């Protein structure tokens, strides 16, 4: 996963530099100093692999029992997101993103920092883009406190197009990939049982949304 992250980051930097050199002076949108506000809805699938072990203790004979486990669960994934982007140079923006995520076992939140590049095609209203980011996500829960444990490291990558249909307004379509990794340790107050697990979740989803450029 670190190798994939490095390759995507390298491609982003190379593409940004190449596009900046070849950029036409007539670019009207997604320029240095612009602000972009985005709203999106994603639907897709997740694959969650959990590895760990449970340990139980018996006070009568001081014995200890070890139960390893390894299983994978597939689920439907939905999220609603909001983002704010600031263009540090033409086409290249820093984009904080916040999403509320839905799984079968509950809801979670993600707080991400993305680096996004929007390409310019002369005389076209189509703007291809891709982004790469990193942040934290919480564990899915049905309780009210979604921010209780932001302990899943999250890699975020996506690519798509922005269709400009009026000045400052665009329709967005994106293919998005996320990878979440984290660990958990549980134990009961009587100390007769404990469990430690590591979870890796891969998510692929399709996103539609709008962006407002200021």
Question: How confident is the prediction for the chain on average, in pLDDT?
Answer: 85
SS3 20: helix
Is residue 4 scored above 60 in pLDDT?
no
Q: What is the pLDDT of residue 176?
A: 98
Q: What is the pLDDT of residue 100?
A: 94
> For the residues of 114-168, what is the DSSP string, one character each?
EEEEE---TT-SEEEEEEEEEEEEPPPBSSS-TTS---EEEEEEEEEEEEEEETT
Q: What is the pLDDT of residue 61?
A: 59
Global pTM?
A: 0.80
Nearest to 203 by CA among 70, 110, 118: 110
Specify the DSSP class assigned to residue 7.
Answer: H
Q: What is the pLDDT of residue 9?
A: 54
86 vs 50 pLDDT, higher one: 86
Model confidence at 22, pLDDT cuts 50, 70, 90, reads very low
Model confidence at 12, pLDDT cuts 50, 70, 90, reads low
Q: How far apart are the first and last CA of the chain?
A: 36
Nearest to 134 by CA among 94, 82, 183, 184: 94
CATH number of 2-213: 2.40.160.20
Q: Sign (positive/negative) of CA torsion 81, 7, 45, 52? A: negative
Q: What is the pLDDT of residue 10?
A: 57
Lookup result for tokens 């820093």? 94
- For 120-148, the pLDDT digits (tens) are 988 788 999 999 999 999 988 877 677 77
For the residues 90-103, what does the mean pLDDT come to? 96
The residue ranges of every structural domain in the chain are: 2-213
Backbone angles phi, psi at 5, to 5 degrees: -60, -45
Model confidence at 188, pLDDT cuts 50, 70, 90, reads low
């Amino acid at each position: 996963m670190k190798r994939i992250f490095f390759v995507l980051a390298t491609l982003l930097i190379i593409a940004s530099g190449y596009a900046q050199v070849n950029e036409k002076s007539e670019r009207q949108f997604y320029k240095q100093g612009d602000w972009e506000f985005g709203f999106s809805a994603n639907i897709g699938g997740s694959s969650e692999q959990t590895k760990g072990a449970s340990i139980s203790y018996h006070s009568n004979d001081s014995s200890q029992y070890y139960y390893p486990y390894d299983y994978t669960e597939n689920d439907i994934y939905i999220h609603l997101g909001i983002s704010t982007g600031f263009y540090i140079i033409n086409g290249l923006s820093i984009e904080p993103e916040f999403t509320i995520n839905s799984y079968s076992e509950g809801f979670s939140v993600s707080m991400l920092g993305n680096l996004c590049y929007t390409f310019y095609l002369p005389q076209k209203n189509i703007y291809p883009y891709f982004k790469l980011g990193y942040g934290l996500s919480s564990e899915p829960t049905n309780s009210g406190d979604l921010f209780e444990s932001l302990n899943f490291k999250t890699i975020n990558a996506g690519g798509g197009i922005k269709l400009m249909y009026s000045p400052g307004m665009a329709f967005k379509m994106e293919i998005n990939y996320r990878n979440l990794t984290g660990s958990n340790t549980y134990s009961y107050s009587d100390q007769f049982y404990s469990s430690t697990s590591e979870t890796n979740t891969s998510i692929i989803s399709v996103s539609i949304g709008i962006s407002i450029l200021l």
